[in-house]
Each structure stands twice: as C-alpha cells, then as structure tokens.
Amino acid sequence: MDRNLLVVVGAGVLTALVVPYANALLENTVGLSLFGISIVLFVPIGAIICGFLAVSGFYLTARQQGLERPMPGLLAAILAVQVLSLVLFYWFSYRGAFIPEYDFAPYLTFGEFFEASTFGMTVSSSRYGGTGEVGSAGAILVFLRTVGFVLAGVVAYKQLPGSGSFLDD
C-alpha cells in the first residue's frame, strides 16, 4: 500500500475516533450532543457537521499529501471508517465518555441502550418546547442521521482534486 495513503488513513482514523469521543464528552458534561441537532426535525445538521469533522483527517491529509481522485481504496477506507465512527458515537455515549457516573454499561447492554435511546428519544424545539418520546419515529431520525453522517464522507472524497466529473468515480 502506498505510504501516502497509509498516512491519510491514519489521520482519518484519528479524527474518526476523536470526534465521537468529544461529542460524548460534551453530551455528558454540558448536556449538548452536536450529533443530535436537527433543523425542522428531519434535517440532521448535527450529524452532517459531525460527519465532516470525522472525515476531516482524511480530507486535509489527502490534500496535504497530494492525493487525487479516483482512488477507490481511499473511498472504501473513508466509508469503512465513517461507519465505525458512527457506531462510536453511540458507544461513547453508552460508556458515558468513560466518566464513571455517566456510564450505562453496569446497567444496560449496548443493544438495550441503543434501543432505549432510539425509541425513547425526545425532541425539543426552541419555539414549541418538548414533544415527549418519539417512539418508532426515532428509528427514522437515526436513519436520517446515518445517511447525513455517511454522505459527509462521500462529499469530502468528491471534493478532492481529480480528473473527470463528479460522477465518474
């Protein structure tokens, strides 16, 4: 494997680990999850921003190393690490950013935590206040966050310099 590509993947993995941890730390100490912010309920702007932050190591280092598209290996690495990073957003929340008083692990399995946080999710608005639990609509919100987060990785890859049009690779 090309040394430049290894450097890029290393930087990408680093930011993909740091961003979900920082979000969980913010969530557990200040009560704000950037990842969970949405506009007009269904536009997951926080997940999109977190997706771009998580992929920033890939993008900035690829630019610095002079890598260009098309590079299917780089796109595959970005997508694989984005999926891992996405899981880490939930895992670090579950583990309370490793702050003992916020750690759910002694009380729930990760699956139980994910189910409770998905279907027990509440939505609040600065104009209308809280909605209470969203129930099964929580799965739709998680799906939209997932799509927004992963699309950020694809968009970052497509912004790298390269030959051909936006749709060629």
Residue 94 located in a structural domain? yes
Does a structural domain hold residue 29? yes
Percent of the chain whose predicted confidence (pLDDT) is above 90 = 62
At a CB cut-off of 8 Å and minimum separation 6, what does 54 contact? Answer: 15, 16, 19, 20, 81, 82, 85, 149, 152, 153
Per-residue pLDDT tens digits for 43-56: 999 999 999 999 99
Predicted confidence (pLDDT) at residue 166 exceeds the cutoff of 50: no
Is residue 164 in some structural domain? Answer: no
Pairwise CA distance, residues 9 & 62, whole Å: 9
Can you give the pLDDT at residue 168? Answer: 54
For residue 70, whether the previous peptide bond is cis, meaning omega lies within 30 degrees of 0, is yes
Range of the domain at 79: 3-158
User: Does the residue 21 lie in any domain?
Assistant: yes
DSSP per-residue letters across 63-92: HHHT--B--HHHHHHHHHHHHHHHHHHHHH
Q: Does residue 10 sit within a domain? A: yes
State how far the Cα of 84 lies from the Cα of 166, in Å rounded to an integer. Answer: 26
Residue range 134-151, pLDDT digits in tens? 778 888 889 999 999 999
Beta-bridge partners for 130? 124
Supply 166's token pair: 């936006």
Lowest mean pLDDT among 43-47, 73-77, 83-87, 106-110: 73-77
- Whether 87 has a pLDDT exceeding 80, the answer reads yes
In the chain, the percentage of residues whose pLDDT exceeds 70 is 89
In a domain, 70, yes or no: yes
pLDDT at 131: 62
pLDDT at 127 over 80: no
How many domains does one find in the chain? 1
Within a 13 Å sphere around the CA of 33, how many CA atoms are in the beta-carbon half?
A: 23
CA dist 145 and 117 (Å) reads 14
> Distance (Å, rounded) from C-alpha 5 to C-alpha 138?
38
Closest CA to 15 of 82, 76, 67, 93: 82
pLDDT at 117: 86
Does residue 167 lie within any of the structural domains?
A: no
Query: Which backbone phi and psi does 12 adopt, to 5 degrees?
Result: -65, -40
List CB contacts of 95: < 8 A, sequence separation 6 or more.
Answer: 24, 103, 104, 105
**In this structure, is residue 165 part of a structural domain?**
no
| Four-point Cα dihedral 133, 136, 142, 147, nearest 10 | -140
Residue 25: predicted pLDDT: 96
